[in-house]
Structures are given as structure tokens and as C-alpha cells.
């Protein structure tokens, strides 16, 4: 009989409980597939007495996750506590230093400390894996790191925050305002304790930065992700976009350009008939484009007990089978500190602005756009009751810099009320 692989699990929320259930219920299948019995030897959580729907009596208990992480009888430390610092970081570091392998679902930890942790893992001969940190149950880290390892990756896109996609979907199909859809998501328990992590795009930005590191062989650069949340998106934008054949998604896009690494997480328009446009509700999607493989689209549940536990178990099974891939697909020391570039790849933009009801106002806006080198594909002024008129503009392909110049110029015309909304139209 091969030696069992022994897990220590820190954090027993829904995902941790899900992992415990899988290990208990599928013991035979897991052993057959990996060649080794998989066992949980000990666990750690904040509250020992909480009912998690799974008995804990057969496992050792540690109040301190650092103690759990360094137990002699633990081979893999499974970190499911969350948080970019504090106990999650301390315990992960302790485990790696003790030569343990680590499996984590913690996107914030990796986005902030991935480079150091990957280097620490390699220095200690440990493996650090994080499939569950990105896009829930979709095995996208594996696809990008391993299956597509023969490609130069040219673009990675993703809708990776189910809560935002739920809110945007409900605004569209339920005719809800942003605030109403937000409240609905909150009532359903979809929002993080700090909702800005979701609707501000931070959580999805963490994930994008991890994918970019693997895709382009660069050090994780979360701070360089251009972040824009969905709070500015109105029901009017969603309707106008739909009218033109688009849907609005909180879309992450990263690409390596001659000027550097572009990473943005922002509401974008995508064709309604595209796979990204078809994505409804809380489902996630990642699109990977490689020079050899063309476009690969992966879709699945981005959160929840089963899908996230499935991803954790994928990593555990890999380690049980002897896989020793580096965290970001190549040695940490070889990851390049990429120059971060503001998104400069030309794109068409959707703009919405409120025009003061003055003679020649529309002409002034058109002139400002023209002077900035932004040409107009379509422009509509709507009927209005108030003293401002909504104007929608779709530009031809232009740079964000040119667009920002035009937006700056509009303020000086004195005919535009408030800040114009500008959303990129991403070709997918």
C-alpha cells in the first residue's frame, strides 16, 4: 500500500466543508485515480463547535493555523481561510518553509504575495497551487499552465465575478436599477463583507493578475490592473447596448503589447451573441487566446461549495499523482517584472453624456471629439423632458488616451453636464 497523502485544512467555511465531504465520500475513487489514499489528519477554524454538516471528531484540531501548517503528519496544507495577510499568509509561509505543499483558494493572498510565496515554495522544494482561487470550478489555471504550455498567449479575458454578472444580468432581464439589483444580490448573500471587493472589480482583478502572470511569464502585478467597478453602469446603458447588439460585462482583459503588459478590469460591451455576451447570472467564463491554439473558451460555476471544492481537490490530486509544476508555470526567479502599460490597444468606445439644452451643444461635443482625433461611428440624441439631453456615441477605434483628451475637452465646452460614461467595446 502506498503511503497516504495527509491533508491539514485551515478554514472550514462552505469550501472547507465541501473538501471534507469529498475526501470522506470518494475515498476509493480518489485512491484509485491518484494511486494513494487521501486523508485529512487535522483541521483548524475559528469556531470548533459550529455545525458544518460534517463530523470533525475523527480529525485532529488546531486552534492556530500556523501550528496546523507545520504538523509533522501534514503533507499538504490546504489554506481556505482567505485574506491577503494575517493568518492565511503566516500559515502558508510556515507550511512552505517546513517543506509542505500548499493548496489555496486565496486569490487576494496570491495577488499580493504570489511572487514571494512562489519563490519560497521553490526554495523549499514545495509545490504551491491555487486552481480554486480563479474562476471557481473551471480548471483554468491547469489549462493555462499545462495544457496550453506550447503557446505564446496573446490575450486572456474573463468574466470572473459571479456577483457582478448577476447584478448586470438582473438589471437587463429584470429591468432593475443598479441599486435594486445590488440589494437583491445582497439579500441572496452573494456579496462579500466589503462589497467593493465585488462591485469595485477588486476580486476579479486579483484573478486577472494571476492569470496574466502565468500567461506572459511576468510577476503578479495586481496594483497595475486598471480597475473600474460596475457602479457607474445604468439601466439606460444596458438598454442602449442591447439595442445595438451588445451586453455589458465586468470584463477582465490582459494582453502583452510592445509597450508593456495591459491589464484592465472594467465594464465593457461585448457582442450579445458571443460566448461572453451569452453568459448569464453567476456563471464565470475565461477566454484564452494563444498563437497556436487560437481561442479557447471555458465556462462554469465561479463559486459555491461544490465547484470550489472540486478545484481544491484537483490540486490535491495532482500532488498525490506526483505533479511538481511551479506556481506560475516557470521558476519564480525567471518571471519578469513587466512594464505595466495603460491600455493602449485601440478599441471602439460606447459613450453616454448629458448635454445641456443649448443651441449648438451637439456640434461642440462633435468638434471636441474630432479635435482629439476620435471619429464617430454612431451618435444619437434622445427625446428628453429635463433640461439635459442624453446623448449616446459609439466611436470608431481609438486609443483611451485620445478619448480621455476628448472627455477633458468636453468639460471645457460648458455644454456637458457631469462626467461622461465611456465603456470599451471589446472585440471577442
Could you tell me the smallest distance in angstroms from the CB atom of residue 143 to a copy of itself?
5
- In this complex, which beta carbon is closest to a copy of itself, that of residue 22 or of residue 197? 22
Q: Does 162 bind a copy of itself (CB under 8 A)?
A: no
> Looking only at residues 4 through 23 of this chain, which bind a copy of itself when binding is defined by CB under 8 A?
18, 22
Residue 20 backbone zone (phi > 0: left; psi -120 to 50: alpha; other: beta)? alpha
Considering only 87, 114, 137, 158, the residue that binds a copy of itself (CB under 8 A) is 137
Q: Element (H or E) spanning 4, and its range?
A: none
- The CA distance from 179 to 299, in Å, is 27
Stretch that binds a copy of itself, among 61-69, 89-97, 194-202, 312-320 (CB under 8 A): 312-320
Q: Which residues does residue 258 pair with via DSSP β-bridges, in sequence order?
A: none
Could you tell me the smallest distance in angstroms from the CB atom of residue 423 to a copy of itself?
24
Q: How long, in residues, is the chain?
A: 428
Q: Beta strand pairing status for 294-301 and 348-356?
A: unpaired
Q: Does 427 bind a copy of itself (CB under 8 A)?
A: no
Cell numbers representing residue 73 in the block = 503528519
Considering only 54, 98, 119, 149, the residue that binds a copy of itself (CB under 8 A) is 149
- The CA distance from 70 to 283, in Å, is 36
Residue 356's alpha-carbon distances to 369, 406, 419, in angstroms, are 17, 17, 13
Residue in 142, 207, 249, 364 annotated catalytic:
207
Considering only 17, 128, 199, 313, the residue that binds a copy of itself (CB under 8 A) is 313
Could you tell me the smallest distance in angstroms from the CB atom of residue 286 to a copy of itself?
10
Q: Beta strand pairing status for 376-381 and 128-129?
A: unpaired
> Looking only at residues 29 through 48 of this chain, which bind a copy of itself when binding is defined by CB under 8 A?
29-30, 32-35
Q: Is 364 a catalytic residue?
A: no
Could you tell me the smallest distance in angstroms from the CB atom of residue 123 to a copy of itself?
15
Q: What is the dihedral of CA 317, 322, 324, 328, to 10 degrees?
A: -20
Q: Is 112 helix (H, G, I), strand (E, B) or coil?
A: helix
Q: Does 367 bind a copy of itself (CB under 8 A)?
A: no
Considering only 3, 49, 189, 322, the residue that binds a copy of itself (CB under 8 A) is 322
- Helices 400-413 and 361-371: crossing angle in degrees, nearest 10, is 150
Q: Is 245 helix (H, G, I), strand (E, B) or coil?
A: coil
Q: What angle do CA 205, 207, 210 make, to 5 degrees?
A: 110
- In this complex, which beta carbon is closest to a copy of itself, that of residue 111 or of residue 316? 316
Considering only 235, 244, 293, 366, the residue that binds a copy of itself (CB under 8 A) is 293
Could you tell me the smallest distance in angstroms from the CB atom of residue 242 to a copy of itself?
15
- In this complex, which beta carbon is closest to a copy of itself, that of residue 35 or of residue 86? 35
Asked if 205 contacts 226 with a C-beta cutoff of 8 angstroms, the reply is: no
- In this complex, which beta carbon is closest to a copy of itself, that of residue 18 or of residue 420? 18
Q: Does 378 bind a copy of itself (CB under 8 A)?
A: no
Q: Does 217 bind a copy of itself (CB under 8 A)?
A: yes
Could you tell me the smallest distance in angstroms from the CB atom of residue 181 to a copy of itself?
22
Considering only 98, 242, 317, 379, the residue that binds a copy of itself (CB under 8 A) is 317
Q: Does 318 bind a copy of itself (CB under 8 A)?
A: yes
- The CA distance from 199 to 223, in Å, is 17
- In this complex, which beta carbon is closest to a copy of itself, that of residue 269 or of residue 335? 335
Q: Is 41 helix (H, G, I), strand (E, B) or coil?
A: strand
Q: Does 271 bind a copy of itself (CB under 8 A)?
A: no
- The CA distance from 428 to 420, in Å, is 25
Q: How many CB atoms lie under 10 A from the CB of residue 37? A: 17
Asked if 348 contacts 271 with a C-beta cutoff of 8 angstroms, the reply is: no
Residues found near a copy of itself in the complex (CB under 8 A) = 18, 22, 26, 29-30, 32-35, 131, 137-139, 142-143, 146-152, 217, 273, 275, 278, 290-301, 304, 306-307, 309-314, 316-318, 321-325, 329-331, 334
What positions carry a catalytic annotation? 207
Amino acid at each position: 500500500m502506498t503511503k497516504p497523502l495527509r491533508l491539514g485544512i485551515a478554514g472550514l467555511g462552505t469550501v472547507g466543508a465541501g473538501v471534507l465531504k469529498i475526501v470522506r465520500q470518494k475515498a476509493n475513487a480518489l485512491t484509485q485515480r491518484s494511486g494513494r489514499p487521501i486523508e485529512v489528519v487535522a483541521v483548524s477554524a475559528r469556531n470548533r463547535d459550529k455545525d458544518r454538516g460534517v463530523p470533525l471528531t475523527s480529525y485532529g484540531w488546531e486552534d492556530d493555523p500556523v501550528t496546523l501548517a507545520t504538523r509533522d503528519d501534514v503533507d499538504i496544507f490546504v489554506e481556505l481561510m482567505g485574506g491577503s495577510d494575517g493568518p492565511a499568509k503566516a500559515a502558508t509561509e510556515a507550511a512552505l518553509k517546513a517543506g509542505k505543499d500548499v493548496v489555496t483558494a486565496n486569490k487576494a493572498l496570491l495577488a499580493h504575495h504570489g511572487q514571494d510565496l512562489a519563490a519560497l515554495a521553490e526554495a523549499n522544494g514545495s509545490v504551491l497551487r491555487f486552481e480554486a482561487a480563479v474562476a471557481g470550478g473551471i480548471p483554468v489555471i491547469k489549462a493555462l499552465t499545462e495544457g496550453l504550455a506550447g503557446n505564446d498567449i496573446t490575450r486572456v479575458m474573463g468574466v470572473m465575478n459571479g456577483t457582478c454578472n448577476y447584478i448586470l444580468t438582473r438589471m437587463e432581464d429584470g429591468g432593475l436599477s443598479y441599486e435594486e439589483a445590488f440589494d437583491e444580490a445582497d439579500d441572496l448573500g452573494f456579496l462579500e463583507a466589503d462589497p467593493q471587493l465585488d462591485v469595485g472589480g477588486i476580486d476579479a482583478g486579483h484573478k486577472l493578475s494571476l492569470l496574466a502572470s502565468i500567461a506572459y511569464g511576468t510577476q503578479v502585478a495586481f496594483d497595475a490592473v486598471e480597475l473600474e467597478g460596475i457602479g457607474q453602469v445604468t439601466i439606460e446603458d444596458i438598454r442602449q447596448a442591447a439595442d445595438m447588439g451588445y451586453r455589458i460585462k465586468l470584463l477582465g482583459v490582459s494582453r502583452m503589447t510592445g509597450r508593456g503588459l495591459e491589464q484592465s478590469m472594467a465594464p465593457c460591451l461585448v457582442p450579445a451573441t458571443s460566448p461572453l455576451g451569452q453568459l448569464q447570472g453567476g456563471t464565470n467564463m475565461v477566454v484564452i487566446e494563444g498563437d497556436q491554439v487560437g481561442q479557447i473558451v471555458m465556462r462554469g460555476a465561479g463559486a459555491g461549495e461544490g465547484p470550489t471544492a472540486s478545484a481544491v481537490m484537483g490540486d490535491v490530486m495532482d500532488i498525490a499523482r506526483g505533479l511538481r509544476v511551479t506556481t506560475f508555470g516557470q521558476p519564480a526567479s525567471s518571471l519578469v517584472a513587466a512594464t505595466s502599460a495603460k491600455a493602449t490597444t485601440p478599441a471602439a468606445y460606447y459613450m453616454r453624456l448629458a448635454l445641456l439644452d443649448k443651441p449648438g451643444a451637439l456640434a461642440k461635443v462633435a468638434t471636441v471629439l474630432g479635435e482629439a482625433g476620435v471619429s464617430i461611428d454612431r451618435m444619437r440624441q434622445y427625446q428628453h423632458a429635463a433640461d439635459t439631453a442624453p446623448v449616446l456615441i459609439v466611436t470608431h477605434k481609438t486609443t483611451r488616451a485620445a478619448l480621455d483628451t476628448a472627455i477633458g475637452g468636453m468639460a471645457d465646452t460648458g455644454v456637458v453636464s457631469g462626467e461622461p460614461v465611456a465603456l470599451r467595446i471589446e472585440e471577442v
